[in-house]
Structure 1
Amino acid sequence: MSSLGTKSFLQVGFYQLFACILFQVCQAIIDEYVDEVMPFPSTMDDWKGIAEGFMEKWNFPHALGALDGKHVACKCPPGSGSTYFNYKKFYSIVLLALVDSDYKFIWADIGGRGAASDAQLWNASDLKSAIEDGDLDLPDAEPLPHDTEDIPYFYIGDDAFGLRTFMQKPYGHRALALEERIFNYRLSRARRVVENAFGILSNRFQVLMSTMQHHPSTIRLIVTTCLVLHNLMRTRYPRLQNRPVDHEGRNQEIVPGEWRNGRQMRDCQVVQGPNRDNREGKKVRNTLKHWINSEAGSVPWQHDMI
């Protein structure tokens, strides 16, 4: 065998050994910690605890988590065609994640092909199916604080997601009334936790800002490991990496976190399709809007933010 062939052979062997060690280390971390630091809520009390966190920290009631998706760059998987090629013109897998009020990941769908949108991945997800089938022990509808009308608990997202009783999103941005603009501010204030969670995650594990050269299954394993370690750090050292997070100034204005200064994982595409907002979802959003603008649900600074 020539010296060039020997070198190539050794490189291939080293890569395979590294990949094997990487797989074993990542799997060991997941097996050891996932149940401790990233348990999926299994009871009504678990979900209510998440909602109480959003109300206490972000003044937004009945929120069971903030949902968003991000692209993680990768090389083009063999034989995949353009299915991993996203609208930003690079190959990626998608991390679709649900985050609590303290920037911890509750649930994640990892590995969606980059050409898919947030909405497509959400509509095909096991979490959405479980919600619609009634398989989750979600809290029953209850009145908002200092109110009497029952309102369901829900997740919060951006314009990518369809409005439903279990999914609330902002009003469209055309010709909004003052009350609708205030509602959008209050919802975006609570939803920002998922953006910040992604920011902390990618700053802590900067491999997520590179173009991964692995097979999609290995990338899923790496990303899962990063989520578990992120939650572990948030649980054991909650103040360790708060500096990069968006925060509020003395007058409640938003001060951008340091994570926004760097190159981060990219947003997923917002697909503008047919209006799928349903009537019951609109009723819930309108009730929330009126509550937020009432004496029962308003906060002193909300008019100053508009």
Structure 2
Amino acid sequence: MRESVSAGERLTLTLRYLATGETQVSLACQFRISHNLISAIIPEVCRAIYQVLKDEYVKLPSTEEEWRAIAHGYFAEWNYPLCLGALDGKRILICKPPNSGSDYYDYKGHFSLIMMALVDASYKFMYVDVGAIGRSSDGGVWDKCTLKEGIETKLLNIPEPEEIPFTRKKIPYTIVGDDAFPLKTYLMKPFPGRDQTAEKRIFNYRLSRARRTSENAFGILAARFQVFKNPIRTSPTNVKDISFAAVALHNFLREHSKDTYSPPELIDREDEANGRMHQGQWHQHQHHAFEGLHAMGRGHSNDAKNIRASLCDYFNNEGRVAWQDQMALLH
């Protein structure tokens, strides 16, 4: 019998596949391993990578102290108070699975799976859910998300409302999202519309500044793991394994090799002197990597409006930063 493919070769092959997005036929020629064996090796190694890394590198905070540490990171890095993370959802493009009909066919005419993620202040994924089929409504995806359930049923040990820094106003800890998400007491989104007051523009700029962490996390992921650059040619189950492995490796590399894996020029940055935003190099890789989600419903409560109004007042008064007026005009 021929020698088996070693663990080192299996890992090398899989990492090359994730990083380059090369076809399995091309990998078969390079590694001199049959195409059929490669198709079994890649998902198996991806599952192993995720199982080994997930408990340490892909996890939600489990205590109030850990949640407060996340909020401290957002306040220190992005001047946004009581923030538990940035929420975003993307569509992972796939090739049409056999005998699937229109199940994975989305509103943009692609076949896709949906990834929902919560990101911390340093571009690391704390929570990832992959698997909703492309034709699912985006609102339905969020309604069925285990993160939403955990927040609303108070299973996540999120701290009770606290005072906004430098004020006597108490508000709940919140996550930030874009206009696709509904406004909730635990989820802040921008004020809608174009004709806005200066105060609302300031709020939208400050929220988008914090929310940029999720956009950049997905951007870094797409730039470094180019398997996402084109529709992935494998089963939806294997796409989930590939996605989870890439996220775990992303967090591992952000922790241990940040400057090499994601140097400053790869990430969006602001020039506070002239108010300009400089796009990171990840934008060059983004066109075919991930698709955004549609609006997920407009319903919101008066309590959620009041929390947003309190934050708006804070950003325009006690929580002002020197550059925000100029940046808000360009936002």
TM-score, with normalisation over the residues of structure 2?
A: 0.85
Distance 1:115 1:90 in 2: 10
1:127-146 matches, within 5 Å, as 127-146=147-166
Which residue in the other structure is 2:179 paired with?
159
The structure 1 residue matched to 2:125, chosen from 105, 121, 142, is: 105
Which residue in the other structure is 1:244 paired with?
266
Which residue in the other structure is 2:215 paired with?
195
- Deviations along 1:242-273, whole A, 9 cap, x unmatched? 32110112425321111112324233332375
Which residue in the other structure is 2:243 paired with?
223
Which residue in the other structure is 2:71 paired with?
51
Which residue in the other structure is 1:266 paired with?
290
Q: Which runs of 5+ in 1 are unaligned?
A: 1-12
Which residue in the other structure is 1:288 paired with?
311
Which residue in the other structure is 1:122 paired with?
142
Which residue in the other structure is 2:320 paired with?
298
Q: Is the 8 A contact 1:95 1:110 kept in 2?
A: yes
- Deviations along 1:189-244, whole A, 9 cap, x unmatched? 11011010011001110001121111101100000000000000000012221321
Alignment partner of 1:73 is 2:96: no
Partner amino acid, structure 2, of 1:302? Q
Aligned pair in 2 of structure 1 residues 189, 125: CA closer, same or farther (>3 Å)? same
Q: Is the 8 A contact 2:91 2:293 kept in 1?
A: no
Moved over 3 A (4+): 13-16
**Structure 1 residue 122, shift from structure 2 partner:** 1.4
Aligned pair in 2 of structure 1 residues 264, 211: CA closer, same or farther (>3 Å)? closer
Aligned pair in 2 of structure 1 residues 143, 259: CA closer, same or farther (>3 Å)? same
Q: Is the 8 A contact 2:142 2:296 kept in 1?
A: no
- Deviations along 1:61-117, whole A, 9 cap, x unmatched? 111010111111111122322221122211111111110010000001111112234
The percentage of counterpart residues that share the same residue type is 38
- Deviations along 1:8-29, whole A, 9 cap, x unmatched? xxxxx93432122112211221
Count of aligned pairs between the two proteins: 294
1:168-179 matches, within 5 Å, as 168-179=188-199
Alignment partner of 1:16 is 2:36: yes
Q: Which runs of 5+ in 2 are unaligned?
A: 1-32
Tell me the C-alpha RMSD between the 2 structures: 1.8
